[in-house]
Amino acid sequence: MLVLAVETSTPQTSVALGSEQGVLAAQQVSWARGHSEAVVPGIRHLLDLTEVRPSQLSGIAVGLGPGLFTGLRVGVSTARALAQVLRVPVVGIGSLDVLAFSVRYSKSRIAAVTDAKRGEVFYAFYRPVPGGVTRETGYLSGSPERLAADMEVSRDEILLVGMGGLLYRRQLHEAASGVEFASISTAFPTADSLLELALPRFQREETSRPGDVVPYYVRKSDAEIDWSRAGRVA
């Protein structure tokens, strides 16, 4: 079973191709022109490198966020279009779940945190379990202070993983005790981790039709927030 994975919830565009036998190829790139200019060329590059024809793909995996609105729209629409054309199923997985999975061997409680812009973060809490992680909360958005308050209430040792934690490292470290920060190498959810999480779901046939796959936006887009604020000012 060959699966293509696409993750675009953060400023990094990540694609991977693989099967139960391992990852054949993967690529991560942060490009100023954005996901729309990187994701399709990235997919083509992986298929060319591995000499895999699109018709050989058995499924598409995609990160659903929460994350940046434009990136999610590009990634999910690309995954849906490919699945429709190739007539293959889709597996969508939360991007924070993918991020937490990258530090699944931690002995501490995990907070997966990505940058939501506008001085906010997206985050969720997890517990390591044999073979992976289990999510304890919904997908949340809020200020670093709100995240720090949620960590302080738990009184657990917590490993923060993701660029959201690194961006606000000083504030979070000062506001909550027992906090450690994962390295920059795990700052973004990656398509190879997404692939590893998705493959068992394909094997269990826990898949979706392309039209049923939608992102987890959690909050309004920046444009909607700006319009709302403009309306209040008016």
pLDDT for position 214:
96
pLDDT for position 156:
84
pLDDT for position 221:
52
Whole-number Å distance between alpha carbons of 5 and 91: 9
Mean pLDDT of each 10-residue bin along the chain, 234 residues long: 97 97 95 83 96 97 96 96 97 98 96 96 97 96 94 88 95 82 96 98 96 89 44 44
DSSP states of 53-116: -GGG--EEEEE--SS-HHHHHHHHHHHHHHHHHHT--EEEE-HHHHHHHTTTT-SSEEEEEEEE
Report DSSP state, residue 211.
Answer: G
Q: Where are the alpha helices (DSSP H) in the chain?
A: 39-50, 69-86, 95-101, 144-154, 163-167, 169-175, 191-203, 222-233
**Which residues have CB under 8 Å from 80's CB, separation 6+?**
90, 210, 211, 213
Cα separation of the two ends of the chain:
56
pLDDT for position 114:
97
